[in-house]
Amino acid sequence: MNTTIIEEITEIKKYDSIDGKYGEYGGMYVPPILEGKLLDLAKFFMVTKSQPDFEAEYLHYLKTFVGRPSPLYYAQNLSKLLGSRIYLKREDLNHTGSHKINNTIGQILLAKRMGATEIVAETGAGQHGVATATAAALFGIKCKIFMGSKDAERQKMNLSRIKLLGAEVILTNEGRGTLKDAVDAALGYYIENPDVYYLLGSQVGPHPYPTMVGYFQSIIGREAKKQFFEIEGKLPDNLFACVGGGSNAIGLFADFLYDSDVAIFAAEGGGYGPEMGNTAATLSLGKPGVFQGTYSYALTDDNDEVYHTHSIAAGLDYPGISPQHSLLKDTNRASYHLITDAEAIAAFKLLSKREGIIPAIESSHAVALALKVLKDRPNDISIINLSGRGDKDVERDLM
Ligand SMILES: *Cc1c(COP(=O)(O)O)cnc(C)c1O
């Protein structure tokens, strides 16, 4: 092989991983009791994911149960208002109301093949809890959902849905009662009961979760690329998504990472602004360290203690981030921006009133970022990932 081909291959692998390492990020930082389990899971995933019957089963449920492909919708009013053409990838129209179901269907099919009899999961905004309880009901598997008490309060409707679907909810009062605390509780339960299947909901945690979650969400970008090409006959200029742990964002971005003409923008939960304790903008303000089983950016102080976080969006209110996004930040392949609560609320109202689509408050961060970036770009055509619908947020008093 000549060097150019070798260089090309290295280039192609640059942002991806099969062993759980994204540059220096990722890996498996867990107690020995989990290491063997996770290595088995990694091996099982790698072998199973491309087996034709597994792929067929995964795509069957995405089509018939989830309702994929989700539409790529030209947002005519928003585009007119802004003077820049915008398409929305409508993950809000999936069954259960967000992108989370893409990953839960994939993982529960794996769990079923591994013979799992109990599923556990964490949830923040409740969308992953609902998606997991839904998948568990579909396949008749026992299910436990860990949720922080503050999130249970601010996302009441999803708490009721999880219970109705037959899952057991375990509220945690540790910390601030948010997503980080739910992950801690679920990981703790997993360490004590290593025979359960832990169905992690974002692109975080130890290997193989970031690779697995990224893979099952990449359906979003593969569809969007094809849909966009059918309408516009080319690639989009810009992609936008919000990042909590990073799963809906990598879902949209993955298939475009090596298309260097496509600019990639991600919106972080900026809370009240850029001060520790008031924000959840991990890549904008954090630093690399080991957090919840992986080496990645995190909002930690000089003693590696995790700062409290704040975001109005429970799904973004998290001090960690995906190792793959950490690499995309360091290599400048994607840019990460702090969007405040107030900016997200304005976008939430704007999309509702002007387009007739009520977005999740998480997704509203991506809309807010697009509004800022695209102000003076009349010739651009962009895709915003609308990660979820806002039913869960309408009864909250969003100022
Ligand atoms: C969970 C959630 C998010 C944030 O999680 P990611 O893993 O970063 O995608 C964003 N939007 C919605 C609607 C969610 O439910």
Instruction: Answer yes or no: do 381 and 285 share one domain.
Output: yes
Q: Which of 240, 317, 362 to mutate to test the pocket of ligand 1 (most atoms within 8 A of CB)?
A: 362
Catalytic residue among 17, 91, 98, 100: 100
Q: Which amino acid is at 29?
A: Y
Residue 52 lies in a domain: yes
Instruction: Answer yes or no: do 286 and 384 share one domain.
Output: yes
Can you point out the beta strands (E) in 196-311?
Answer: 197-198, 238-243, 263-271, 287-291, 294-298
Residue ranges lining ligand 1, Cβ < 6 Å: 98, 100, 125, 127-128, 202-203, 242-249, 315-316, 360, 362-363, 387-388
Paired sense of beta strands 238-243 and 263-271, if any: parallel
Judge contact between 325 and 249, C-beta under 8 A: yes
Residue nearest to atom 5 of ligand 1 (CA): 244
Residue 17 lies in a domain: no
Task: Write out pLDDT tens, residues 363-396.
Answer: 999 999 999 999 999 999 999 999 999 999 998 8
Q: Which of 70, 96, 99, 204 to mutate to test the pocket of ligand 1 (most atoms within 8 A of CB)?
A: 99
Residue 268 lies in a domain: yes
Q: Which ligand 1 atom is nearest residue 363's CA?
A: 11
Instruction: Answer yes or no: do 107 and 209 share one domain.
Output: yes
Query: Which of 214, 246, 278 is the endpoint of a domain?
Result: 214
326 among known catalytic residues: no
In degrees rounded to 5, what are phi and psi of residue 204? Answer: -130, -175
Count of structural domains, the chain: 2
Query: Which of 179, 214, 249 is the endpoint of a domain?
Result: 214
Instruction: Answer yes or no: do 107 and 208 share one domain.
Output: yes
Residue 7 lies in a domain: no
Q: Please give the DSSP secondary-structure letter assigned to residue 110.
A: H
Peptide bond into 210 cis (omega under 30): no
Instruction: Answer yes or no: do 74 and 119 share one domain.
Output: no
84 among known catalytic residues: no
Q: Give this prediction's pTM.
A: 0.96
The alpha carbon of 2 and the centre of ligand 1 are apart by a number of angstroms equal to: 43
* Coil, helix or strand at residue 121: strand
* Whole-angstrom distance, CA of residue 346 vs CA of residue 368: 8
What is the band of 398 on the pLDDT scale with cuts at 50, 70, 90?
confident
Instruction: Answer yes or no: do 280 and 190 share one domain.
Output: no
For residue 241, what are its two tokens?
A: 């998504």
* Whole-angstrom distance, CA of residue 383 vs CA of residue 388: 15
Name residues whose C-beta falls within 8 Å of residue 290's C-beta, 6 or more positions apart in sequence: 29, 304
Q: Which ligand 1 atom is nearest residue 251's CA?
A: 9
The sign one gets for the Cα dihedral 213, 336, 360, 177 is positive
What is the band of 1 on the pLDDT scale with cuts at 50, 70, 90?
very low
Q: Which ligand 1 atom is nearest residue 91's CA?
A: 13
Instruction: Give the CATH number of the domain where residue 49 resides.
Output: 3.40.50.1100
Residue 6 lies in a domain: no
Note the Cα 329 to chain centre separation in Å: 16
Instruction: Answer yes or no: do 351 and 377 share one domain.
Output: yes
Instruction: Answer yes or no: do 170 and 311 share one domain.
Output: no
* Whole-angstrom distance, CA of residue 197 vs CA of residue 169: 16
Instruction: Tally the residues of the chain.
Output: 399
User: What are the CA-CA distances from residue 96 to residues 30, 56, 99, 212, 315 (Å)?
Assistant: 32, 22, 9, 21, 15
Q: Please give the DSSP secondary-structure letter assigned to residue 29.
A: -
Residue 373 lies in a domain: yes
Instruction: Answer yes or no: do 175 and 321 share one domain.
Output: no
If you average pLDDT over every residue of the chain, what do you get? 95
Residue 5 lies in a domain: no
* Whole-angstrom distance, CA of residue 309 vs CA of residue 287: 15
Q: Which ligand 1 atom is nearest residue 316's CA?
A: 4
Instruction: Answer yes or no: do 117 and 193 share one domain.
Output: yes
100 among known catalytic residues: yes
- Mean pLDDT, residues 28-36: 94
Note the Cα 17 to chain centre separation in Å: 17
Catalytic residue among 122, 268, 343, 362: 122
Please count the CA atoms within 13 angstroms of the CA of 82 that sit on its side-chain side: 30
* Whole-angstrom distance, CA of residue 321 vs CA of residue 246: 6
* Whole-angstrom distance, CA of residue 54 vs CA of residue 119: 19
Residue 106 lies in a domain: yes
Instruction: Answer yes or no: do 263 and 385 share one domain.
Output: yes
Name residues whose C-beta falls within 8 Å of residue 360's C-beta, 6 or more positions apart in sequence: 92, 97, 98, 125, 127, 313, 315, 387, 388, 389, 390, 392, 393
Query: Which of 214, 231, 263 is the endpoint of a domain?
Result: 214
Q: Which of 161, 200, 202, 217 to mutate to test the pocket of ligand 1 (most atoms within 8 A of CB)?
A: 202
Q: What range does the domain containing 125 cover?
A: 27-62+100-214
Instruction: Answer yes or no: do 223 and 284 share one domain.
Output: yes
In degrees rounded to 5, what are phi and psi of residue 329? Answer: -70, -50
Judge contact between 283 and 336, C-beta under 8 A: yes
Task: Write out pLDDT tens, residues 216-274.
Answer: 999 999 999 999 999 999 999 999 999 999 999 999 999 999 999 999 999 999 999 99
What is the band of 5 on the pLDDT scale with cuts at 50, 70, 90?
low
The pLDDT score that the predictor gives to residue 115 is: 96
H/E stretch holding 338 reads: strand 335-340
The pLDDT score that the predictor gives to residue 112 is: 97
